[in-house]
Amino acid sequence: MTHSIEIKELKLAFGAVTVLEDLNLQVGQGEFLVLLGSSGCGKSTLLNCIAGLLDITDGEIHIQGHNVTWEEPSKRGIGMVFQSYALYPQMTVEGNLAFGLKNARMPRPEIAKRIKRASEILQIEPLLKRKPAALSGGQRQRVAIGRALVRDVDVFLFDEPLSNLDAKLRADLRVEIKRLHQTLQNTMIYVTHDQVEAMTLADRIAIMKGGQIMQLAPPAEIYNRPVNKYVAGFIGSPAMNVMEGQLDAGNSEFASARGLSFTVKGYEFDGAPTSGPVWLGLRPEHVQSGKWAAGQPIQREALVDMVEPMGSDTQVWARVDGQEIRFRMDGQEKVDIGDRVPIGFDPARLSLFDKSTEIRL
């Protein structure tokens, strides 16, 4: 058994509208894959196709080596957790957990055993006799996860499971899902629009846009080497500074349209660099300031336009040689509008994209 999930040439169209096209994806055994993208990118649609909740137009879906393209959702060997929890309101927690197993005509003792195990793992034993309406959001989502858990399947599908929770609970449950993955070691596909969830949970992230996967890679690679301008802008908070400018391939000289220019020394080009209009990306957190600016290959002076103190750090909007740049400073440093602050950064950590194709150079 090579891949846990394999998707070949998947196409999904509603009438004349094509939602997913020529989509290929392989997910390894026990891998935690996050489908990340903004709303409408097709990530949930793809998940629904994998689950069998949407009939695809063309292509094949294999789960655990079986072609399940036209199989019923319940027979694909998947468990699924939904954003709105989707608990059956008229059943108790126990009833919710047992519903799928009863449908599969599983013997009662086995059902009881599985519910016991799942509720132990998720610590929901005291809730078993309650109805969903009597549970808090976090408890509900635990039950929803439990419902996937009792199915004892190889593949878990999560459809934005934490989006309806408040920030604190979200963080807690995120950790719990990660722990669950480590315990169970099964394949998980997790759909989210939250990059923090994606970065923290994923073995690999698939960034989607317009029904296509832009980049499929481990979080670090996505962060460090985004394949295109979209991915670069999507990942990272605050967002990457993207500057319009010219690249002179001969001496690796970048000149911003606004006036800032420097040599991109140490940057690893994907191919041979060519001269022409480019986008240049610089992550705010890669810009050093104040006394830390000193050691950086490129140093400039920034004129502060606006300050956003966050406590642990401070976000600064500033102009460097006429080019607007955002960066972060230590929260302890005092900075005010109109101040001049020395900054520095390392060109090796930049991202360069072709102006027209927006693909990484």
Partner 1 sequence: MSRARRGTAPVRPPIRLFRNLSSKIAAIPMVLVGLGVFVGGTIWTVVYSFTDSRLLPRLQFVGFEQYERLWSTRRWLVSIENLAIYGIVSLVFTMCLGFLLAALLDRKIRFEDTFRTIFLYPFALSFIVTGLVWQWLLNPDFGIQSVVRSMGFPNFNFDPLYNSDLVLIGLLIAGLWQGTGLIMVIMLAGLRSIDEDIWKATRVDGIPIWKTYIIVIIPMMKPVFVTALVLVTSGIVKLYDLVVAMTSGGPGISSEVPAKYVYDTLFTRQNLGQGFAASTMMLVTVAIILIPWAYMQFREKRQ
Partner 2 sequence: MTAAANLPGAVTPRGTKPKTVFAPRNIMLYGTLLIFSMYYLLPLYVMIVTSLKDMAEIRMGNVFSPPVEITFAPWVKAWAEACTGINCDGLSRGFWNSVRILIPSLIISVSIAALTGYVLACWRFKGSEIFFGILLLGAFIPYQVLLYPLVIILRELGLFGSLWGLVLVHTIFAMPINVLLFRNYFVALPEELFKAARVDGAGFWGIFFRIVIPMSLPIFVVSGIIQVTGIWNDFLFGVVYTRPENYPMTVQLNNIVNSVQGVQEYNVNMAATLLTGLVPLVVYFFSGRLFVRGIAAGAVKG
Q: Which stretch binds partner 2 (CB under 8 A): 84-92, 181-189, 254-262, 349-357?
A: 84-92
Site size with partner 1, rule: CB under 8 A: 18
Binding-site member from 88, 120, 126, 257 for partner 2 (CB under 8 A)? 88
Determine if 84 is a binding residue for partner 2 (CB under 8 A): yes
Determine if 30 is a binding residue for partner 1 (CB under 8 A): no
Decide whether 71 or 203 has the Cβ nearer to partner 1: 71
Residues 67-126 that bind partner 1 (CB under 8 A): 67-71, 75-78, 101, 104, 106
Q: Which stretch binds partner 2 (CB under 8 A): 26-34, 88-96, 186-194, 277-285?
A: 88-96
Rounded to an integer, what distance in angstroms lies between the CA atom of residue 310 and that of residue 238? 12
Binding mask 20-59 for partner 2 (x = CB under 8 A): ----------------------------x--xxx------
108-122 helix and 137-149 helix, angle to the nearest 10 degrees: 140
Closest CA to 153 of 76, 99, 87: 76
State the binding partner of 159 from partner 2, partner 1, none, CB within 5 to 8 A by kind: partner 2
Backbone angles phi, psi at 121, to 5 degrees: -60, -40
State the binding partner of 154 from partner 2, partner 1, none, CB within 5 to 8 A by kind: partner 1
State the binding partner of 238 from partner 1, partner 2, none, CB within 5 to 8 A by kind: none
Rounded to an integer, what distance in angstroms lies between the CA atom of residue 281 and that of residue 236? 12
Decide whether 152 or 285 has the Cβ nearer to partner 1: 152
Q: How far is the CB of 336 from partner 1 (least distance, A)?
A: 35
Rounded to an integer, what distance in angstroms lies between the CA atom of residue 154 and that of residue 228? 33
CB 218 within 8 A of CB 233: no
State the binding partner of 33 from partner 2, partner 1, none, CB within 5 to 8 A by kind: none
Q: What would the 3-class secondary structure string for the chain be?
A: CCEEEEEEEEEEEECCEEEEEEEEEEEECCCEEEEECCCCCCHHHHHHHHHCCCCCCEEEEEECCEECCCCCHHHCCEEEECCCCCCCCCCCHHHHHHHHHHHCCCCHHHHHHHHHHHHHHHCCHHHCCCCHHHCCHHHHHHHHHHHHHCCCCCEEEEECCCCCCCHHHHHHHHHHHHHHHHHHCCEEEEEECCHHHHHHHCCEEEEEECCEEEEEECHHHHHHCCCEHHHHHHCCCCCCEEEEEEEECCCCEEEECCCCEEECCCCCCCCCCCCEEEEEEECHHHCEEHHHHHHCCEEEEEEEEEEEECCCEEEEEEEECCEEEEEEEECCCCCCCCCEEEEEECHHHCEEEECCCCEEC
Determine if 233 is a binding residue for partner 2 (CB under 8 A): no
State the binding partner of 242 from partner 2, partner 1, none, CB within 5 to 8 A by kind: none
Decide whether 51 or 180 has the Cβ nearer to partner 2: 51
Site size with partner 2, rule: CB under 8 A: 27
Determine if 273 is a binding residue for partner 1 (CB under 8 A): no
Determine if 316 is a binding residue for partner 2 (CB under 8 A): no
Residues 249-278 that bind partner 2 (CB under 8 A): none
Q: How far is the CB of 77 from partner 1 (least distance, A)?
A: 3
Q: Could you count the other beta carbons within 10 Å of the beta carbon of residue 139? A: 20
Determine if 82 is a binding residue for partner 2 (CB under 8 A): yes
Binding mask 151-180 for partner 1 (x = CB under 8 A): xxxx--------------------------
Determine if 6 is a binding residue for partner 1 (CB under 8 A): no
Determine if 204 is a binding residue for partner 2 (CB under 8 A): no
Q: Give the binding site for partner 1 (CB under 8 A).
A: 55, 66-71, 75-78, 101, 104, 106, 151-154
Q: Give the binding site for partner 2 (CB under 8 A).
A: 48, 51-53, 72-75, 78-80, 82-90, 99-100, 103-104, 144, 147, 159
